[in-house]
């Protein structure tokens, strides 16, 4: 199993409202969030991005729905903060997937 340098203790310190979540669940969403975020792209905001994406993932899970907080638009606050951070690092909304080249599409 993959482990992270970001710990459940880091998560609980940052999100006190989610401190009752089980460490195994927190570690799982941290690892999942790290798979979606590039440290070289996020640089200094990497940890904050991982923590907010992990909090979002935890609160959309049925087991974590009670802890979900929404902003005035109805969006989850953790997802809203993650999106704000993405804008700061210049990503905007992104979709990841396999790289497709012109040659793959039959274009020369």
Q: What local confidence, expressed as pLDDT, does residue 79 receive?
A: 77
Of 61 and 98, which is predicted with more confidence?
Answer: 61
Q: pLDDT confidence of 105, banded at 50, 70, 90?
A: low
Number of domains in the chain: 1
Q: Which residue has the tokens 């798979």?
A: 35
The secondary structure of residue 16, as a DSSP letter, is G
pTM, to two decimals: 0.67
Say if 23 falls within a structural domain.
yes
Distance CA 38, CA 24 (A): 23
Say if 79 falls within a structural domain.
yes
**Structural contact between residues 68 and 76, judged by C-beta atoms closer than 8 angstroms:** yes
Per DSSP, the residues of 31-73 read: HHHHHHS-HHHHGGGHHHHHHHHHHHHHHHSGGGGGG--B-TT
The tens digit of pLDDT for each residue in 46-81 reads: 999 999 999 988 888 765 555 555 555 556 777 777
Say if 93 falls within a structural domain.
no
Q: What local confidence, expressed as pLDDT, does residue 72 receive?
A: 56
């Amino acid at each position: 199993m993959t482990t992270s340098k970001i710990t459940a203790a880091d998560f609980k310190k940052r999100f006190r409202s989610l401190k009752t979540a089980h460490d195994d669940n927190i570690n799982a969403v941290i690892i999942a969030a790290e798979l979606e975020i590039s440290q070289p792209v996020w640089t200094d905001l990497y940890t904050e991005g991982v923590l907010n994406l992990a909090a979002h993932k935890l609160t959309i899970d049925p087991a974590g729905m009670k802890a979900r907080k929404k902003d005035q638009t109805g969006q989850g606050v953790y997802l809203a903060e993650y999106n704000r951070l993405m804008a700061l690092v210049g990503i905007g909304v992104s979709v990841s997937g396999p790289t497709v080249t012109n040659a793959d599409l039959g274009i020369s």
